[in-house]
Amino acid sequence: MIAEALGPVNNFLETAAVHLFPGRSLTLTQDLGIELSGSPYATLSKSARFRVGIAFQFALAKMAGARLLIIDEADILDPSNRANLVDFLMAVHGDFDTILVFATSDHAHASPVPEIQIWWLEEGQIARVGEKMAA
């Protein structure tokens, strides 16, 4: 079963890698090792391992037919990799009913992209960024 699933898993990983690792390939090997352009997972940076995790979450959600994708701790990414994450999510958002991305920040700005909503939680109150917080 695992051998049969390698092809579809690797196809989904490649879809994610195009955005999360431009110019590099991400694969699950026959012995179930994870490689990024030939580099073993254990040698990757924390940011790269995080993005590999996102790619696998996407692949598993697609294979399971899930309509929800949740990504936590996106604040680990630098601005360039955050932009790549947004590009990836915009490319695959039609595959999901809802995509939630969580990050910690001391500031937030409303999204210029209509499909993206930014919400802010402060002192137990949640509001869409750009709207006044309830008093």
pLDDT in tens, 86-135: 999 999 999 999 999 999 888 788 888 888 888 988 889 898 887 654 44
CATH number of 2-104: 3.40.50.300
CA-nearest of 74, 16, 88, 76 to 27 is 16
Residues 6+ apart with CB under 8 A from 129: 108, 109, 110, 111, 118, 119, 120
> Where do the domains of the chain lie?
2-104
Two structure tokens written together for 109? 């700005």
pTM: 0.88
What is the residue-averaged pLDDT of the chain?
92
* Model pLDDT, residue 135: 43
Which residue blocks in 1-135 are alpha helix, DSSP H? Answer: 2-20, 46-64, 79-92
